[in-house]
């Protein structure tokens, strides 16, 4: 796919995200965090950056995640996402690469996660984050995530547990919920809410 094609898709996504009515969580007692839903063009089509968390981390070790983390005092949603993107992948994006912010997602671990859509115009080579936090940065075709999610039902909650395929495994909430909403809004122009989707019990910590 050509760079021009990616530029056209970026322009369409920008219009759709600008028209999207974002729903904030309104939970000031929880810890605010930002994640970057970062799209890059590539020769094979647009790719989404997904990290594998380092196995030695105290929380969510080894899990798939979007680049992100808690916001510093006084830091904006967008600035935190760009900072975390640079720290965890080595990719330095600018405010001009930001298309907008999706719905907040409240995690079981006490965070209000604000997803920032970052769509760059140029491709990048291999990316790498600090070994203490990130075992590897993956560039996965956006098309691989633009599928119907799977929903499970577990005895611990009445809410549907969402998951998306990634290689021979699964992406779980919060990441799966955020990526699903991104695909619905940016790729299809659908105003789809995902805050009610649940994560599996192992991700509640």
In the predicted model, what is the mean pLDDT of residues 140-158?
95
The mean pLDDT of the chain is 92
Tens digits of residue pLDDT in 31-79: 999 999 999 998 889 999 999 987 655 665 568 999 999 999 999 999 9
In the predicted model, what is the mean pLDDT of residues 125-145?
90
Q: Which two tokens stand for residue 182?
A: 């991104």
Superfamily for the 3-203 domain: Nucleoside Triphosphate Pyrophosphohydrolase (3.90.79.10)
- Helices in 90-161 by DSSP H: which ranges? 142-145
pLDDT at 56: 59
Q: In the predicted model, is pLDDT for residue 4 greater than 90? A: no
* CB contact at 8 A, 142 and 180: no
pLDDT at 61: 56
Q: In the predicted model, is pLDDT for residue 138 greater than 90? A: yes
Q: In the predicted model, is pLDDT for residue 1 greater than 50? A: no
DSSP sequence for 31-100:
EEEEEEEEEE--TTS-EEEEEEE-TT-SSSTT-EE-SEEEPPTT--HHHHHHHHHHHHH-----GGGEEE
In the predicted model, what is the mean pLDDT of residues 177-184?
98
Higher pLDDT, 55 or 131: 131
pLDDT at 3: 57
In the predicted model, what is the mean pLDDT of residues 153-161?
94
Nearest to 41, CA basis, from 7, 86, 84, 91 = 7
């Amino acid at each position: 796919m050509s760079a021009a094609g990616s530029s056209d898709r970026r322009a369409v996504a920008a219009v759709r995200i600008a028209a999207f009515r974002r729903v904030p969580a309104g939970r000031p007692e929880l810890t605010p965090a930002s994640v970057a839903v970062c799209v890059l063009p590539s020769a094979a089509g647009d790719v989404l950056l997904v990290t594998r968390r380092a196995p030695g981390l105290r929380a969510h070790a080894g899990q798939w995640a979007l680049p992100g983390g808690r916001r510093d005092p006084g830091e904006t949603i967008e600035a935190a996402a760009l900072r975390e993107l640079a720290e965890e992948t080595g990719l330095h994006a600018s405010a001009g690469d930001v298309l907008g912010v999706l719905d907040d997602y409240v995690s079981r671990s006490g965070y209000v996660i604000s997803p920032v859509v970052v769509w760059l115009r140029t491709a990048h080579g291999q990316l790498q984050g600090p070994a203490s936090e990130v075992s590897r940065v993956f560039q996965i075709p956006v098309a691989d995530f633009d599928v119907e999610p799977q929903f499970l039902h577990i005895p611990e909650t009445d809410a549907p547990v969402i998951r998306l395929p990634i290689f021979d495994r699964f992406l779980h909430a919060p990441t799966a919920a955020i990526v699903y909403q991104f695909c619905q809004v940016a790729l299809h122009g659908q105003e789809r809410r995902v805050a009610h989707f649940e994560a599996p019990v192992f991700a509640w910590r």
